[in-house]
Structure 1
């Protein structure tokens, strides 16, 4: 019975932690995704037919400004867009972590912390976890930026809105979204190979050094220069839908939309504007390098560093957690 009691306590703890975590993080994550996904070119653009396109997204330059804009236009329901896919992904990955790795913590953003093994094994583990979580991340990002109201308990209906007919017929096409896997693999490789190696070099040892810890924190903070653009490009690429039409390029964008008939938030709020502007699906990013170049050319290099301070805070928290882990290991060995 003690084992059953411990299991019940652990389950209740995880459920409460999940509810509290989602209540806090979903609105914040939603504002972050929208801010980075917002398409706001600096100058007039030409559409695929060569006509001048004067459409631009709203000029929102701050994280909290986007949070206020979401609440003003879409209300509380808009703040919690993406709740269901985030919750389901977290539950699934946390269940896997408990069953396979004996973890007692919630998975973060649909992923679990890698085991304490070698760099190569950790890299393979991180890439595997990314591949497992990628479809859920795509669905979550799209559910956040879509202007359509998605019912919480009708997943098939919601997927018909979020995914194109091509993606529903061939789900593996999600992995072929141009540039997305490259951005994710680069992010994981830098985090595991570079940062993990430096963390082991500076923090592992018989005694804790505040100087070495300060150096590692500085390295984590400077890594924002590399990591933040990868996160921004991941967001923009994840919401780029894949179609099938022979007359278009490798992304194969369809001429018409998918005949979506669903109510929009604007119809309920009385607003005549969407929260963000999205790039036209007829003019997609063709790959990782093309995405980086076109963001810089069209929106300016500053667009690659939207909400950079969020990435930096996450880096500082990661450094603090690593230091705590190594200190705990040293105390345990004593």
Structure 2
């Protein structure tokens, strides 16, 4: 348990860390999410009526190219889209990590540190953390890819743009977004069963050689985790609704009678930053998402931003080694 003084110091430290982290990471993570969400097919496509059409969306295949495109079309404000949902999610997940995991660092909806708990406790806390973080991730990703300008403190207005009427009436349907929960569970199981077991086996009795082996496993894991991250991004932005005339997971056709303005309008632009799949032709599940990405955009799409995932893996390995050495 923390004393009152420790809680005050921890709170101030986390507040400063959160502010500095968001200031630096929001533009970078926003560009990464847009890069992974961008729909860029390599050939002619059939629309839902069976007619051939040429996809005319933006062709952006590099991270820094996407970062420049965001700034050109949406300006400085566009670089910080997703700031509020990201900040709220980070605060909630950090409070959860402090309360449940005795953590002293920031947590996000993408990763929780469970190194100090037992195996069953780690599984339980991480599953609970994922259930808390999944809606946060959906709102964050959608707020980043939407072309509409969202107010920082207009929660209900933003939710009407980001969520369909069905999702607002039945928010639990977010967990039923086809393929998303499966994708997140696969990431969770790999991290908890494989990486955590290797971490305990190799780092509990730390040597530079064992650390090198573990670091190598973390880096090789990018071959699996990066495609899962790309798929999770593409699946999270698909909105759910129950209109009989449309597929239950497609993007909302109507704008819900909201007079919303796009970021591009303020900068005199007439194009969107990224392109998305046709709203009547969504991914129908985990396997369908994987096959369509490979068939339509090429397998390289699954590794967009792979070096971000690699850097996160290296940082995770170093942090785990430092924590085990500190506990020794």
Query: Do Structure 1 and Structure 2 share a fold, with TM-score over 0.5?
Result: yes
Counterparts of 1:315 and 1:152, CA distance in 2 = 32
Paired residues, number:
327
Deviation at 1:187, TM superposition (A): 0.3
- With over 3 angstroms needed to count, the CA separation of the structure-2 counterparts of 1:324 and 1:242, relative to structure 1, is same
Deviation at 1:9, TM superposition (A): 3.1
1:264 to 262, 265, 277: 262
Q: CA deviation at 1:127?
A: 1.6
Report the CA distance between 1:250 and its aligned residue.
Answer: 5.0
- Does the Cα contact within 8 Å between 2:238 and 2:250 map onto a contact in 1? no
Output one character per residue of 1:47-73: Cα deviation in whole Å (capped at 9) or x when no partner: 111122323431111111111111111
Identify the residue that residue 245 of structure 1 maps to in structure 2. 243
Is the contact made by 1:250 and 1:286 (CA closer than 8 Å) also made in structure 2?
A: no
Aligned in 2, Cα 1:152/1:312: closer, same or farther, shift over 3 Å? Answer: same
SS of the aligned residue for 1:321 comes to helix
Q: Any idea what the Cα deviations from partners look like across 1:195-222, whole Å, max 9, x if unmatched?
A: 11111122222xx321221111111111
Cα drift, residue 306 of structure 1: 0.3
Q: TM-score, length-normalised on structure 2?
A: 0.94
User: CA contact under 8 A between 2:22 and 2:83: conserved in structure 1?
Assistant: yes
Structure 1: 5+ residue stretches without partners: none
Query: 2 CA distance for matches of 1:150 and 1:319?
Result: 37
- Structure 1 SS opposite 2:28: helix
Gap runs ≥5 in structure 2: none
Partner of 1:143: 143
Where does residue 314 of structure 2 map in the other structure? 316
Structure 1 residue 100 displacement after superposition: 4.2
Match of 1:130 in 2: 130
Report the Cα distance in structure 1 between the residues aligned to 2:99 and 2:215, rounded to whole angstroms.
33
Q: Normalization by structure 1: what TM-score?
A: 0.92
Whole-Å separation in 1 of the counterparts to 2:49 and 2:198: 50
Distance 1:9 1:212, change over 3 A: closer
What whole-Å deviation, never above 9, does each CA across 1:277-316 have from its counterpart, x for those lacking one?
Answer: 0112210100000000000000000000001111111111
**After the TM superposition, which residues 40-119 of structure 1 pair with which residues of structure 2 at under 5 Å, given as runs?**
40-109=40-109, 112-114=112-114, 116-119=116-119
Structure 1 pair 201–32 and aligned structure 2 pair: CA distance change class (3 A): same
